[in-house]
Every structure is written in C-alpha cells, then in structure tokens.
A and B are shown apart, each in its own frame.
Chain A
Amino acid sequence: MLLQLKNVSKWVQSGGQKIFLLKDINFWVNEGDFISIMGPSGSGKSTLLNVIGMLDNFNEGEYSFLEDSVHTLKEKHRANLYKQYIGFVFQSYHLIDELTVKENLEMPLLYKKFGASERKSLVGDMLDRFNIVGKKDLFPSQLSGGQQQLVGIARALIASPKLILADEPTGNLNSKQGEEIMETFTQLNKEGVTIIQVTHSEKNMKYGSRVINLLDGSVV
C-alpha cells in the first residue's frame, strides 16, 4: 500500500458552526494505481488532493504514507516526504514565466540538491522522453497550452516521484490536447507511476483504474 487515509475530516469554523470541507474520508492507494477523483464544484476534490499532497492540513483522522504517519510528522519532515515522493501537475500549469523550459525542469532538482552534471542529464532525459528538446530554450508564453502542460508533467516527473497528483490537468486544454495528456498519463502509469487525478470529465475518468466520487466532502 502506498498511502491510506482513515476517517480524515477537515473543517472551518464559520459563525460558531463547523463547515466540513472533508468528512470522514476513508481511502487507500496501492502502488501502480491510477485513481480519478470526481465530483461537482465545491465537493472537496482539490482539498482532498492537497491533503494527500501534504500541502494542506486536516483536523481529524489518520494519514499514513508508505511507513510514515503523516498526521504525526512535523512540518519539516512532511515537506521532505512530499519533496521526495510526490510530483504535482496543475490545471493552469504553474510554470514560472521568467524561466525557460529547461530551467523550469531543472528547478525541482535545484531544491533537491542534485549536482550540476546530474541535473543536466536528468533534464536531457525528460526533454527526450517528452519530445520537447526543440523547445528547451523557449519561455512558457511561447508554448501552446498542451505543450505547457507537458512541461508541467515533465517537471513533476523529473525527480522520479512514486506518486503524481494532478488537479484537473486538462481543464485548460482543448479536447485534442487533453487526450494527448491523458495518453501520457496512461503511459506513465504503465511504467509504474501511481497517479491520482481530479477531474470533471467522464471521459478522463475512464483512463483511471478506480474512481472516487465526492459530494459535499464525503465519499459516496
């Protein structure tokens, strides 16, 4: 098992009342899974993804990732954990506008203390793998949305994470570009990467091996 959530709840206080963002979530992921989280707007999909990605805290419950109990870890250890094992892909790509494709890919490695030659070879591999060698010196604004998202995925993958978290990865793309991205995810999954995606679309959902439906913060 890669990770497991037991009775996880998250709420905010509003006017003396608890508003649940997540309620009593029970949920596990095995290595090699491709899971889709579905649900209408405001159902807590992104919150759940952030909790899994350790970017956000929760109020109650237990979360274990590999052998570690995330809810008992200190901020710093948690950060180390997600840095090592998790890659993020965003709907609006979140590439840094001032950096080139190559530099964007290199950035996570900088923060993980890879040596210069290692960085160079890893970036080269990624560029090859995603077939974007010709684009390496372009800035994000010079790329199409699909290409930007490819760079986003490449960046998420570069430090070889065990888990990819993708928040509506095709939300800003047209259908053709979207299909290509989903094909890429399928391919990665076949190569052994675990993927959790949040999506609105029935079509994208079908790429996954398992679906979790959320409504008002609860699994239905």
Chain B
Amino acid sequence: MFKHYIMIAWRNAIRQKQFTILNILGLSIGIATCFIIGLYIHSEVTYDTFHDKADRIYRVNQPNIWEDWKGVSSTTGPNVAVALREDAPEFEEVTRILNSGTQIVKTENEDQTNLYKEEQYFAAEENFFDVFSFEFLKGNPKTVFAEPYSMVVTAKTATRYFGDQDPIGRTVEVRDYDGSWKTYTIKGVLADIPYKSHIQFEVLISLKSFSERMEAHGWKWIWTAFSTYGLVKEGTDIEELTAKIQEIPPKWAPPTTERIFNQTFEEFTAGNPWELRLQPLSEVYKSGEPTMHSFGPTGNPIFVKIFGAIGMLVLILSCINFMNLSTARSSKRAKEIGVRKVLGTKRKSLIKQFILESTLFVLIGTVLAILLVQFSLKAFNTIADVNIELIPHFSNPSFWGIILMFVVMLGLISGSYPAFYLSMFQPIETLKGKVGERFKGKGIRNGLVVFQFTISIALVICTLFVQKQLGYTSSLDVGFKKDNILQIHNIEQIGFDTETLKAKLLSNPAFSAVGKSFGLPPNVWSGDRYKTIGDKDDVVQLRNLRTEEDYLDLLGVEFLAGRNFDASRSNDKYKVILNEEAVKILGWGDKTTYKTDSPIGKILAIASGSEDQFEVLGVVKDFNINSLHQKIAPLVIIHHQNDKVWDYGAGLSYYSMRLNSMLVKNPDDLQGVIDRVKQDIAAIDPAVPFEYSFMDQDFENTFISEKRMATILNVFTLMALIIACLGLFGLAAFTAEQRTKELSIRKVLGAKVSQLAILFSSEFTRLVVIAVVLASCMAYLLVDWWLQNFAYRASIDIWVFIIAAISAIAITLLTVSLQTVKVATSNPAKKLRTE
C-alpha cells in the first residue's frame, strides 16, 4: 500500500509539473531560510562551549564605577581576583586577563627585522590554561606563564613571525609604554583560536611581566582594566556564592578609595552597591551584556530574536503555500478521490495518504534546502559577517534527528489541511466533476493568502523604515563638518614632541587645517568626575576631550560664549571649554541665560582626588562626540598641555587634517596624500605604526550592525515576498480553474477581455488591500519599537506605507497576470461545452 501511495504521489507530481515545481520551490526556499537562521542562532548560542569546564566558568562583572553605577562593566580592578582567592574557597581557580591595547612586536628572523602591530595582544595569568581549554600545539600549558616575559602565540602568528621554523625558545621584542624594548621568550604555540570564542587573541603574555606595575599602583580596586574569571568547584551553589562575595568590596576597597580619592568607601559609592555579579561563560557572548568587553565579539540578542522570528514566519509562509497549492490542485485529484471512496477507501486512510504525500514533498524540499543552504552559506556569511558552517553538523547524529523530526512535523502540519479538505469530497459529486463548483474552504484559503501578504508587506515596510532611519542618521548634522577629515593614529607613540610632525603636516598644501586631539568623535569615551566650586558641590560625570586649540577650529564647532584656547596665552593651559549640556548639568543655565549670567569665568574642579580647579573659558554648541544612538553627553574640553588632569600622558592621541578639496579631488590624489603622511611619520620614527581613518566613515561605522541587519532583512524580506507570490500564483491558478465557467458565460454575453481581466484580478487586489491595512498596523508598532533604540529618529511617514501598498498591488497584478490573460482570452466555447 505504502509503495502504491508513493507511486500515485509521484505520478501526480509528474503530471502537474507546474504545481509540483512551485510547491517544492516555495517549500525549499522556506526551509532553507529557516535552516540558515537556525544555524545562525545555533552558532550564536553555543559560543565558548568548547572549553572543557565551560559550565563551571563565570566572569565577574561589577557596576561601572566611572559612570553612574547603573551600567555594568565586564572589567574589574586587579584585586577582585586576589580577594576572591582569599575569601571564596568555592573557586577552584580565579584568573585575570589584561588587555593592554595595541602593541608593537619586533622580530629578528634570518637577519631581517620585522615590526608587527598586534591588536589582539593580552596578558594572562599562570593558571589561565587551567580554566580555559585552548588547544596547545607546542609547549606545556602548566608552565608556559610561570615566569615573566613569557609569550604564547597562535600557529598563524608563529608562522608570521618565524615562517616554518620552530618558534619555541625564540625571542621577540615588544615596545613598552615608555618607548623602551622588552624581550619576551616564546614558550608555547596554540592552535588558532576557534571563532566561537569571546576571547580572541593572537599573542598572550604572562601577566607576571607587569607585576612591578601592578604592585606600584595603589589603585588595586579602581584600575578597572582586568577581566576576572572564576572556575567554581563542582556542585557550588552560585546564588549562595554570589551573596557571599558581596562582602568583598566593602571589606577590601576602602584603602584604595581613601588613598586615591580621600573618600570613605560609602562616600565613593554614594550609597550604590558595589555588586560583584557572576555571569556564566555561556551567557558572556550571547547576552551581549555588558555591551563592551575588550577581548572579542559580543552577541546581539535582539538580532537573534528578530531573525528567529523571521525564520519562523518564513517557514509558516511556505507551509501555507504548500497548503494553498495542494488544495488548489484538488479538483484535479477529485476524480481519484471519488473512485477511491466508491471502492471503499475510508476517510482515515485517505488522510494518511495525503499526509504521507506532503511528508514526501517536505522531504524533497528539505534535501533541496540543504543543498541551497550549502551553496548560499558563503554569501550569507559575508553579508551577515558571521562564520556559520553546515558540513560539520553532518557528522552529528542529533542534527539528523532534528532534520527528521522537522520533516515529519512539517509534513504533518502542511499536509493536515489538504488531507482533511480533500478527503471530505462526496464521491458522487466528484465523479460527476462537480467538485469546485461549490467548493468549500475558499474563505480559509483567502485568509491564508491575506496572512502571507500581511507578513511580507509588513516586512517590506519595516525594511523601508530601517533604510530610511539609516539614511536619516547619516545625513544628520553632528554639529561640525565631519566630511573630508583625515585622521592619523598612534601619535602617542611619537612621544610629546610632535611639533616636527605638525610642521610637516602644515606645510602640506593638501591640508587646510591640522589639529591634535586625544580622542576622536564618535569615540570619545574617557570621562571623569567634576564638581562646581562655591554654592553647592554636586559631583557630576563629564566626558573629557583633550585637544589643541586648532582642533576645535578644524572641526568648526560653534562658540556660544567665551572663546577658544589661544596658543599665545600661556594662562589658557589650565582653563576649560564646556559644551551646552555640561553647562546645563552643572546648573549654570542654558544658552538663553549666558548673556545675563555668563558661565565664563566660573570654576570647575576635579572631584576625584586632586581637587584642582579650572576656569571656564568658553562654551561650545553641542556636537556629537558619540554615535547618533546616544544623546550628546556633557563634555569638558581640556587644553592639550593641562597636566593637572590625570589622564595626561596616558591617552591615545591623533592628528586630524581637513583635506583641501581643491587639491584632493580623486582617490589617486588621496592615496598620494596618505603616502606622503606615511613617509613623514616614518622619517620621525619608523617604529610608529601608520594607521589612518576618516571621520565621516567612523560615524558611518557606528551603524554597522544596523546596516548588517538591514542587509539581512532585505534578503529575508525578498524570500518572504517570493514565497507569498508563489502562494498567490497558486491561488490565482486555482481560482482561474474555479471561475472558468462564469467568466466564459460573461464573455459569451459580451464582456471584453479587459473587463474580464479587471474582474478577475480585483479579487486578489482586494485580498492584498486587506493585507496592506493589517501589515501597516503591524509594521507601525514594530518600527516604533525599533526606533526607540535611537536618540535621533526618522519620522514614521505615511508615504512609506503608500509606496509599500502600491508596490504590493503591482506585484499582485503581475503575479496573477499570467492567469488573468489565460482566462480572459480563452475560448469560451471550449469551456461551456455541454457536459
């Protein structure tokens, strides 16, 4: 019997090629989309699982003590680990990692000296490899970091440094912050770091190399640059442990706050709990919280949710398609069903037959989908900037288990409605060929198509708004002229005397202005605590931007009161410039009150330790120092030589140049300019790595994840649309069959081809109009929710909905046009032949 069913299914499929192809195509597109999204989500939620003890590893997070204590920081002071080792024996190991920023590594190989700029360069403790299981190719994980100035590199980096030679025991030199070179010995080689690791590094050195500095600093609780990981003993109650370690900061931190800030612990925290939180390793990547950590990528749970929802929707759409097309074919199957029933087949076994048939279709669709996934994975990886793979899953039996379950489930779901619908036919009517004249389920089918189109049109509208928002943000006025600014990095490596370089840059006619700064919008993050002197001493958090006077001119920021720094007045060194927001937060009024109660001349003081005081020299109009996701933060601009603010000398610095657009007209000109700057720097110090960027691009890049989302959304929207169109096409074919008689009568009675075409397609247009209305409501809510992520929002304009509606109707007409033409031009005499 089974064999018989399969044979019948096969012959039906062959006979109705058009339907079969539509059906399987729709199904496999849907399944493939769902699989790709499934693989993506699987990859997102299985980060860091390759460590042997992954389930026992926790990262220690704490409040962001430098901002408002409300944010969570993934890094702590170095002594959190020391305290945990001492006070919490539940930890088998506690280990710290320090990201000390970009480093310059010098190698000597076959009489050749090479310089490498290493960005993924961290310092780790001796027990690092007791906690994490990165695979060693050479060296002993127990002892590699037993001594200071030891280094472990990945296989890729070992090859970069020494080619095929054995790197073990070889030495390299690393430039220290003071410009001297320190020698490190390579003790181990690791296999390249799996991409599904939230810690991505090329070079790891022993943290012991910094022990001197770590001891010297009295800032053991506020040097919040260390990531602290704990490996708990088996069977540890995490809740209990978390409660217990809350006693650590109040016990250990007071000496630090007293020495550095001259404040008691309570004064320093201002009553906020210094909470140590244990975040399971499996959550570190996928939760995407805290948003910033220093070792590698973070996940985006919103993406996972959005794409998960889209995957489900696309799958549902293709199931609906299958149902629609299957029932649409029903009149062709009616006779078979009638004969079966007359011959005594029970309804149950008919249902069984059709479900088996749909399962068979799903199986074929799935096989095709797997092929489709394999072929499109590369493209998807590129546009989504991920690294998902299909082939490695083939060796996993549970993968096949899931696929099997998927096929059976989908077969059941998509087969159920056609099975019940088809098996309902009355045998006599079907044999007389009456089925379809008074067919049932038209309402359901219409409902399904409305649903399909609602989803697809809603996706289209959302996609349009995502694009609109991206266009809007990149066209926003950031408060200064961000175009045509070339920025060179790593200026701090030259040291303090950068005048030689500046003179060279100024003499270059390609630049109309040159200015040095210690931060670059949109990435001005450093900040400090300040207070006003006099009436009240509220402490506020302000962002710092240390600049030369020329930099503000170069940006073209507008002064609302006072003036810029003046190089000829040495007094300006200890004066500061505020933005409007900072004036407001300090309680000195807003721009309407500057005339009557000028903030110029008021005194601002540092509230962390030193209490040095600075006079306000000027107020600038607010400009964006961060991405346009955020409102403009209060900012204090500090003179580049002000050595009383304690980030002096520690920060990265940059030269920015405004390009003279008269001289730099095309990419070749630009390349020439860049090459010349590169030579200028090399002439001063060849060890300084040359790196540059453009400010407008930096601003664009802050929307990179939204852009990626937009691209992926485009692809999936297209998929959904294709599937919905296939469904509509099926419905149109079905309806054409149903209405042939009526339309033929109309034609005989004098209807023109155009009148028939309008009559026929209006039925579908009506459905799509309903879908447009529903989709608009849905999309409005979604878009409104998504826009909450932005401080600057594009308006939700009606014309976007209108465009979507018009294109949806156009697509509808196009899709049904083939059937329309067919029914409108067919010969009525043939259709009306007496039965």
Cβ-closest chain A residue relative to B830 = A56
Give 24 pairs: A residue, B residue, CB < 8 Å, sorted on A.
Answer: A46-B833, A46-B834, A50-B829, A53-B829, A55-B827, A55-B829, A79-B750, A79-B752, A83-B750, A90-B832, A94-B741, A94-B744, A94-B748, A95-B745, A97-B438, A97-B742, A98-B742, A107-B746, A107-B749, A108-B749, A108-B750, A111-B749, A159-B750, A171-B834
Residue pair B832, A111 in contact (C-beta under 8 Å): no
List the B side residues contacting A107 at CB < 8 Å. Answer: 746, 749
Residue pair B834, A111 in contact (C-beta under 8 Å): no
Cβ-closest chain A residue relative to B835 = A92
Residue pair A56, B749 in contact (C-beta under 8 Å): no
List the A side residues contacting B835 at CB < 8 Å. Answer: 92
Q: For the complex, is B755 an interface residue (Cβ under 8 Å from A)? A: yes
Residue of A53, A111, A171 near B750 (CB, 8 A) is A111
Q: For the complex, is A206 an interface residue (Cβ under 8 Å from B)? A: no
List the A side residues contacting B748 at CB < 8 Å. Answer: 55, 88, 94
Q: How far is the CB of A149 from chain B (nearest CB, A)?
A: 13
Interface string of B802-835 (1 = CB under 8 A from A): 0000000000000000000000000111001111
Q: Contacts A90-B834, A91-B834 given: A111-B827 contact, CB under 8 Å? A: no
Residue pair A167, B829 in contact (C-beta under 8 Å): no
Q: For the complex, is B146 an interface residue (Cβ under 8 Å from A)? A: no
Residue pair A111, B751 in contact (C-beta under 8 Å): yes
Q: How far is the CB of A155 from chain B (nearest CB, A)?
A: 7
Q: How far is the CB of B440 from chain A (nearest CB, A)?
A: 14
9 additional A-B pairs beyond A83-B750, A94-B744, A107-B749, beta carbons within 8 Å, are A55-B748, A56-B827, A88-B748, A90-B832, A92-B835, A94-B745, A95-B745, A96-B746, A97-B438
List the A side residues contacting B752 at CB < 8 Å. Answer: 79, 111
List the B side residues contacting A92 at CB < 8 Å. Answer: 834-835
Residue pair B834, A112 in contact (C-beta under 8 Å): no
- Bound complex: CA A92 to CA B751 (Å): 20
Cβ-closest chain B residue relative to A93 = B745
Residue of B745, B750, B755, B827 near A96 (CB, 8 A) is B745
Cβ-closest chain B residue relative to A57 = B827
Residue pair B829, A111 in contact (C-beta under 8 Å): no
Tell me the interface secondary structure of chain A in the complex. Answer: loop
B interface with A by C-beta (< 8 Å)? 437-438, 741-742, 744-746, 748-752, 755, 827-829, 832-835
Q: How far is the CB of B303 from chain A (nearest CB, A)?
A: 49
Q: How far is the CB of A1 from chain B (nearest CB, A)?
A: 24
Residue pair A94, B746 in contact (C-beta under 8 Å): no
Cβ-closest chain A residue relative to B748 = A88
List the A side residues contacting B832 at CB < 8 Å. Answer: 90, 94
Q: How far is the CB of B763 from chain A (nearest CB, A)?
A: 12
List the A side residues contacting B744 at CB < 8 Å. Answer: 94
Q: How far is the CB of A69 from chain B (nearest CB, A)?
A: 21
- Bound complex: CA A50 to CA B437 (Å): 24
List the A side residues contacting B745 at CB < 8 Å. Answer: 94-96
- Bound complex: CA A87 to CA B387 (Å): 71
List the A side residues contacting B742 at CB < 8 Å. Answer: 96-98
Interface residues of A in 84-128 (CB under 8 A from B): 88, 90-92, 94-98, 107-108, 111-112
Q: Contacts A96-B742, A96-B745 given: A56-B750 contact, CB under 8 Å? A: no
Cβ-closest chain B residue relative to A167 = B834
Interface size on A, residues (CB 8 A): 25
**Which 4 pairs between the two chains have the least Cβ-Cβ distance?**
A111-B750, A55-B829, A83-B750, A108-B749
- Bound complex: CA A133 to CA B755 (Å): 29
List the B side residues contacting A97 at CB < 8 Å. Answer: 437-438, 742
List the B side residues contacting A50 at CB < 8 Å. Answer: 829
- The count of A-to-B residue pairs whose CB atoms sit within 8 angstroms is 49
- Bound complex: CA A56 to CA B831 (Å): 12
Q: How far is the CB of A115 from chain B (nearest CB, A)?
A: 16
List the A side residues contacting B827 at CB < 8 Å. Answer: 55-56
List the B side residues contacting A155 at CB < 8 Å. Answer: 749
List the B side residues contacting A53 at CB < 8 Å. Answer: 829
Interface residues of A in 113-153 (CB under 8 A from B): none
Residue pair A112, B829 in contact (C-beta under 8 Å): no
List the B side residues contacting A90 at CB < 8 Å. Answer: 832, 834
- Bound complex: CA A77 to CA B396 (Å): 71
List the B side residues contacting A98 at CB < 8 Å. Answer: 742
Residue pair B834, A168 in contact (C-beta under 8 Å): yes
Q: How far is the CB of A167 from chain B (nearest CB, A)?
A: 6
List the B side residues contacting A83 at CB < 8 Å. Answer: 750
- Bound complex: CA A46 to CA B742 (Å): 20
Q: How far is the CB of A79 from chain B (nearest CB, A)?
A: 8
Cβ-closest chain A residue relative to B834 = A91
List the A side residues contacting B750 at CB < 8 Å. Answer: 79, 83, 108, 111-112, 159
Cβ-closest chain B residue relative to A99 = B742
- Bound complex: CA A171 to CA B835 (Å): 11
- Bound complex: CA A96 to CA B833 (Å): 16
Q: How far is the CB of B825 from chain A (nearest CB, A)?
A: 10
- Bound complex: CA A147 to CA B828 (Å): 24
- Bound complex: CA A112 to CA B755 (Å): 12
Q: How far is the CB of A75 from chain B (nearest CB, A)?
A: 10
Residue pair B834, A56 in contact (C-beta under 8 Å): no
Which of B742, B827, B829 has its CB near the most chain A CB atoms (within 10 A)? B829
Residue of A55, A96, A111, A168 near B828 (CB, 8 A) is A55
Q: How far is the CB of A194 from chain B (nearest CB, A)?
A: 18
- Bound complex: CA A90 to CA B827 (Å): 16
- Bound complex: CA A56 to CA B834 (Å): 15
Q: How far is the CB of B99 from chain A (nearest CB, A)?
A: 74
Interface string of A11-55 (1 = CB under 8 A from B): 000000000000000000000000000000000001000100101
Q: How far is the CB of B833 from chain A (nearest CB, A)?
A: 7
List the B side residues contacting A108 at CB < 8 Å. Answer: 749-750
Cβ-closest chain B residue relative to A172 = B834
Cβ-closest chain A residue relative to B438 = A97
- Bound complex: CA A125 to CA B834 (Å): 30
List the A side residues contacting B833 at CB < 8 Å. Answer: 46
List the A side residues contacting B751 at CB < 8 Å. Answer: 111
Interface string of A156-176 (1 = CB under 8 A from B): 000100000001100100000
Q: Contacts A46-B833, A94-B832 given: A111-B755 contact, CB under 8 Å? A: yes
Residue pair B829, A56 in contact (C-beta under 8 Å): yes
Q: How far is the CB of B436 from chain A (nearest CB, A)?
A: 12
- Bound complex: CA A94 to CA B745 (Å): 7
Residue pair A111, B741 in contact (C-beta under 8 Å): no
Which of B741, B752, B828, B832 has its CB near the most chain A CB atoms (within 10 A)? B832
Q: How far is the CB of A161 from chain B (nearest CB, A)?
A: 11
Q: How far is the CB of B341 from chain A (nearest CB, A)?
A: 24
Q: How far is the CB of A126 from chain B (nearest CB, A)?
A: 14
List the B side residues contacting A95 at CB < 8 Å. Answer: 745
List the B side residues contacting A91 at CB < 8 Å. Answer: 834
Cβ-closest chain A residue relative to B751 = A111
List the A side residues contacting B828 at CB < 8 Å. Answer: 55
- Bound complex: CA A162 to CA B827 (Å): 23
- Bound complex: CA A124 to CA B742 (Å): 24
Q: How far is the CB of B16 from chain A (nearest CB, A)?
A: 24
List the B side residues contacting A159 at CB < 8 Å. Answer: 750
- Bound complex: CA A88 to CA B742 (Å): 15
List the B side residues contacting A168 at CB < 8 Å. Answer: 834
Cβ-closest chain B residue relative to A171 = B834
- Bound complex: CA A137 to CA B835 (Å): 28
- Bound complex: CA A94 to CA B742 (Å): 8
- Bound complex: CA A44 to CA B441 (Å): 39
List the A side residues contacting B749 at CB < 8 Å. Answer: 88, 107-108, 111, 155
- Bound complex: CA A28 to CA B755 (Å): 34
- Bound complex: CA A167 to CA B745 (Å): 14
Cβ-closest chain A residue relative to B829 = A55
List the B side residues contacting A171 at CB < 8 Å. Answer: 834
Q: How far is the CB of A15 from chain B (nearest CB, A)?
A: 21
Cβ-closest chain A residue relative to B749 = A108
Interface string of A166-207 (1 = CB under 8 A from B): 011001000000000000000000000000000000000000
Cβ-closest chain B residue relative to A141 = B438
Cβ-closest chain B residue relative to A50 = B829
